A and B are shown apart, each in its own frame.
Chain A
């Protein structure tokens, strides 16, 4: 079966979406810490931080959606049949795609969760 136009999945592509979650998380943490950590002027609105987090969240979500949809399309295209346990490179690929999809979904939810505080908290208090 031809795999030429398709992504070759491996352990690195598998962990790409949670890695994006990690980068997004650290970014949010550092941006907020940079402004709020000194703990003075706690009632000043932190619009800049919230916008920065929103701007980081959108591409992070887009990447997870992209990775998830790509993986879904590929394992579906090959009549992907759970539980992917045939001893072939094909099924290994299907398995990695399916797991990538699941991780992309989890990372998507986790990124939304991480962005929620920026939505609900308006200052450094």
Chain B
């Protein structure tokens, strides 16, 4: 059972329009990076202004350039890669529609109550009898809220089972770890309490690919503390809790690159525990997962020697090499990802080198120690090698 939401009334009220020209949240090859601390990134792309305005507040603003500018800047995020209005998943879209309906109702009620209170202070004493007042309490305070709340409650309740209906797409296990995301494609995990995610399947990190139009089952767990997995553009959030495997079913409706974040406070670097989600066609998805299952592409590189010599392999796995650490992200195909450091820096050699040399500075609280003591050449070599691991 699903009650479909028609175009919300707010569409009319706020003259909702989509900017023509806007195709996807972020264009290919771009990234909205994030640096910790005072360091500003060089060479980082800016998000295309194509992501701008989807809501226009009416003609009056157009007369005033500063106001218009302010409005534009303010609403530039509303269809951004991290916005709940981005309309890229079935759940997110229904919830956004629900939001506009509720907002419309809330605005009407608020103006009614405030109007009434203004009137009440101006009304001539004696103009209204106690009986009128009691009627106001009964109808305004009891009957009306009860009716509205009943409708809203039934509506909200019947939405939920659909969101959690069985999946028909792949099954991906995602482990929230301090402060990054471990990913297993083709996972055998099952939801439940008093269990933890099996480390099986094709491993990746901090970037999740999803096939468009399929209901993909995400199984969420954590080996350390509670995190929360959230891709606002696609669906609501679900916590990753040690000792539990939670289930979230997502159905992306639009290809593109979207931001995900950790939404539950998990420690010092909580703010910098992001990731990317790329929604692609079914074929691209299959090609990608198959590629992720392969060993590393470059096995003969001075950077690999430096990597192993400095003990990086104690924490990181690079399949096809001796590095088989289980603590940090799997780096076998690190260069195929959009970002490094869990969604905080754009993937390129310069940023790799920076992350290795001043880890704690870029991402305070990170579990990886800074390797700034290494000679610059070694860091550059490691960065060059990692940057080649497509």
A binds B: yes
Interface residues of A (CB under 8 A from B): 37-40, 42-43, 82, 105, 109, 113, 116-117, 120-123, 125
A125 touches B193 (CB 8 A): no
Q: How far is the CA of A122 from the CA of B162 in the complex (A)?
A: 11
Which residues of B (321-347) have their CB < 8 Å from a CB of A?
none
Partner of B146, one of A40, A109, A120: A109
Q: How far is the CA of A22 from the CA of B179 in the complex (A)?
A: 41
Known: A37-B193, A117-B157, A121-B157. A43 touches B244 (CB 8 A): no
A40 touches B191 (CB 8 A): yes
B191 touches A113 (CB 8 A): no
Partner of A125, one of B142, B150, B157, B165: B165
A116 touches B157 (CB 8 A): yes
| B165 surroundings in chain A (CB, below 8 A) | 125
Sorted nearest first, the 8 A-B pairs with minimum C-beta distance are A125-B164, A40-B192, A120-B157, A39-B193, A39-B192, A38-B193, A120-B158, A39-B191
- Shortest distance from the beta carbon of B355 to any chain A beta carbon, whole Å: 37
Interface of A is mostly: loop
The answer, yes or no, to whether B154 is at the interface (CB within 8 Å) is yes
Q: How far is the CA of A39 from the CA of B134 in the complex (A)?
A: 48
B190 touches A113 (CB 8 A): no
Number of residue pairs A-B, CB distance < 8 angstroms: 40
Chain B residues with a Cβ closer than 8 Å to the other chain, count: 23
Residue of B nearest to A112 (CB): B150
Known: A109-B146, A113-B150, A125-B164. A39 touches B157 (CB 8 A): no
| A37 surroundings in chain B (CB, below 8 A) | 193
A-B contact pairs, 30 of them (CB 8 A): A38-B192, A38-B193, A38-B194, A39-B192, A39-B193, A40-B191, A40-B192, A42-B164, A42-B191, A42-B247, A43-B166, A82-B130, A82-B134, A105-B142, A109-B146, A113-B149, A113-B150, A113-B153, A116-B153, A116-B157, A117-B157, A120-B154, A120-B158, A120-B161, A121-B157, A121-B160, A122-B161, A123-B161, A125-B161, A125-B164
| B149 surroundings in chain A (CB, below 8 A) | 113
- Shortest distance from the beta carbon of B84 to any chain A beta carbon, whole Å: 23
| B193 surroundings in chain A (CB, below 8 A) | 37-40
Which residues of B (165-220) have their CB < 8 Å from a CB of A?
165-166, 190-194
Q: How far is the CA of A104 from the CA of B3 in the complex (A)?
A: 32
Q: How far is the CA of A7 from the CA of B36 in the complex (A)?
A: 69
- Shortest distance from the beta carbon of B134 to any chain A beta carbon, whole Å: 7
Which residues of B (244-292) have their CB < 8 Å from a CB of A?
244-245, 247
Q: How far is the CA of A40 from the CA of B191 in the complex (A)?
A: 6
